[in-house]
Structure 1
Amino acid sequence: METRIRSEARSYLFVPGNRPERFAKALLAGADAVIVDLEDAVAPHDKDRAREAVLRALPELASVYVRINAADTCWFDEDVGAFAAHPAVQGLVVPKAANTEALAHIDSRSHARLALLPLIESAAAFTALDAICHAPRVERLLFGTVDFQLDTGFGGDGEELSYFRSQMTLASRLANIGSPVDGVTMALDDAGEIFDAARRAQRFGFGGKLCIHPKQIAPTHDAFTPTEADLAWATRVLRAAQGSAGSATVVDGKLIDVPVIERARMILARAR
């Protein structure tokens, strides 16, 4: 199986590309990764100025991601030319990724270790999901739930999108890329709502979540971090497996087998 670029980031914090005074604060906010946004956060008349602001700041913004403008906009080529080959850019977030054409174009102009994070935001994107996952440099998929609801007419991002979250997890696994990242939650001050949304994503096999405010980082991390009960269970399972020397054994009244043991190992690995 091909070795692909991997990321274990639980949180990706957006910061507007036209607000350079916020860049340093975003880097210190505690997110696992920061995305400097040139798309939704920047008005059309401010796109060029924002691009220049990000370029000037890149020496102090090593290893950030940049969300460029979509391939069908007049800013796409200049964004790719500015950031794809820049060594301080860890990856590009590619909005409105409905096929592999834009990804191939970026790939041809990239530095050696640049990662691509396609945003899945339309019904058309799901018809090309397998091809997008297998495209060069794709690190993991991001689910643009707000735009996807707009495109499809779905009236919520809960059970309404369960099928699509499942498909993203399966496609990612088959392509041997990182687990997908769930879309934003609009609540800023409701830590419970943010935690529940991130925990739902985790149950669907997602490994992270997009954040639009630093207040969302802590509950997001909590949702993707094993609980003390999870760790205690995993420790009991591995101790029992070691003590049984390969024979069938029981933990908490339940038979444990190889998949259960592997799940226990994954829980402890996530905690580390």
Structure 2
Amino acid sequence: MLKEYRPPLAPLFVPGDRPERFAKAAYSGADAVILDLEDAVAPNARSLARESVANHGIDNVPVIIRVNASSSAHFQEDLSALRDVSFDALMLAKAETAADIRLVHALLGRQVPIIALIETAAAFEDLAWLLREPGVVQAAFGSLDLALDLGCQPSREALSYFRSALLLKSCLAGLPSPLEGVTTVFDEPNVVLQDAQAAAEMGFGGKLAIHPRQVAPIIEAFLPDAQSVNWACRVLEAIRDGGAVQVDGAMVDRPLIERARRILSRSSCVGDVQA
């Protein structure tokens, strides 16, 4: 039986070969930590990374471990090192097929929650089947690697089709909204905030962070602001008596009611308002 998975808003990557950074990442304000065995690890430090990740010692936030793609020479060694390790989810780099997901479970000897990192053109060929495979609990968008694979710029415009496709297929598969890819700039919070706001408006459920300074602006973008919470509370209060009602000059119907409920479910200021 899969352990319960709670989709994060701002999961923070930390290199697996830098165990001295694990605690700092865990107390950065991120609502999950991604211990990375893939891109962030120096080629000559993979054994150290696996050992460090296997003994991570993090217990105050959910732990996600990113492993190398199934096509990588490092894939089987990654999974072998994790057979007896406790973690909350595994992120599979360059996930492309449902068979990739089944192979992860076979090599681990158990079923675990898997975040499918979608970052190649091939992944979109049978994306619906990939995201419906048992064990997949969410998708994440690997914008930089996908742009490299496609030979395009990793701009919002160039990858808009692929973001939309990932959002649509995640919804049809009954999964939580996917995680947006990284912003490479970390010393300009406004840039991170703008990227995160654009992702939130599009329907993403969170955004991958690569530096502790990115965590706060990402969370700010994805959590409802005070105005939205106030509106949602007034909507649910207005429908208590039943019948057609208006809020702020707009008729309140089922889509608006559901939107209000979603806003309050993501807010820490839900209170006792219930419909």
TM-score normalised over the length of structure 1: 0.92
1:60-99 equivalence runs, <5 A: 60-62=57-59, 63-83=62-82, 85-99=83-97
Which residue of 127, 135, 138 corresponds with 1:137? 135
Which residue of 234, 249, 252 corresponds with 1:253? 249
CA contact (8 A) 2:236 2:260 kept: yes
Q: Write the letter of the residue equivalent to 1:184.
A: V
Offset, 1:146: 0.4
CA contact (8 A) 2:66 2:91 kept: yes
Match of 2:118 in 1: 120
Q: Distance in 1 between matches of 2:33 and 2:227?
A: 30
Q: Write the letter of the residue equivalent to 2:223.
A: T
CA contact (8 A) 1:16 1:38 kept: yes
Offset, 1:185: 0.2
Q: Distance in 2 between matches of 1:180 and 1:256?
A: 28
Q: Write the letter of the residue equivalent to 1:49.
A: L
Match of 1:15 in 2: 14
Q: Distance in 2 between matches of 1:29 and 1:98?
A: 32
The change in CA–CA distance for 1:111 and 1:29 in structure 2 (over 3 A counts) is farther
- Whether 1:181 aligns to 2:179 is yes
Q: Distance in 2 between matches of 1:102 and 1:61?
A: 27
CA contact (8 A) 1:184 1:211 kept: yes
Offset, 1:9: 0.8
Match of 2:272 in 1: none
Q: Secondary structure at the match of 2:138?
A: coil
Offset, 1:21: 0.8
Mean Cα deviation higher: 217-226 or 198-207: 198-207
The change in CA–CA distance for 1:5 and 1:175 in structure 2 (over 3 A counts) is farther
Offset, 1:5: 5.6
Which residue of 258, 261, 264 corresponds with 1:265? 261
Match of 2:35 in 1: 36
Give the fraction of aligned pairs with identical amino acids, expressed as a percent: 42
Quote the RMSD (CA, aligned, Å): 1.8
Q: Distance in 1 between matches of 2:133 and 2:190?
A: 36
Q: Write the letter of the residue equivalent to 1:24.
A: A
Q: Write the letter of the residue equivalent to 1:219.
A: P
CA contact (8 A) 2:3 2:88 kept: no
Offset, 1:157: 2.7
- Whether 1:151 aligns to 2:149 is yes
> Mind listing any 5+ residue stretches in structure 2 that lack a counterpart?
269-275
Offset, 1:229: 0.9
- How many corresponding residue pairs? 265
Q: Distance in 1 between matches of 2:179 and 2:32?
A: 12
Q: Distance in 2 between matches of 1:154 and 1:28?
A: 36
Q: Could you list the structure 1 runs, at least 4 aligned residues long, displaced by more than 6 angstroms after superposition.
A: none
Match of 1:212 in 2: 210
Q: Distance in 1 between matches of 2:78 and 2:95?
A: 15
Q: Distance in 2 between matches of 1:9 and 1:71?
A: 24
Q: Secondary structure at the match of 1:271?
A: coil
CA contact (8 A) 1:168 1:180 kept: yes
CA contact (8 A) 1:121 1:145 kept: yes
Mean Cα deviation higher: 96-105 or 157-166: 157-166
Q: Secondary structure at the match of 1:185?
A: coil
CA contact (8 A) 2:143 2:154 kept: no
TM-score normalised over the length of structure 2: 0.91
Match of 2:159 in 1: 161
Q: Distance in 2 between matches of 1:139 and 1:6?
A: 7
Give CA deviations for 1:146-193 in whole Å, capped at 9, x if unaligned: 001111122233122222112111111111122100000011111111
Offset, 1:6: 4.2
Q: Write the letter of the residue equivalent to 2:236.
A: L
Which residue of 193, 196, 202 corresponds with 1:195? 193
Q: Secondary structure at the match of 2:13?
A: strand
Q: Distance in 2 between matches of 1:106 and 1:14?
A: 21
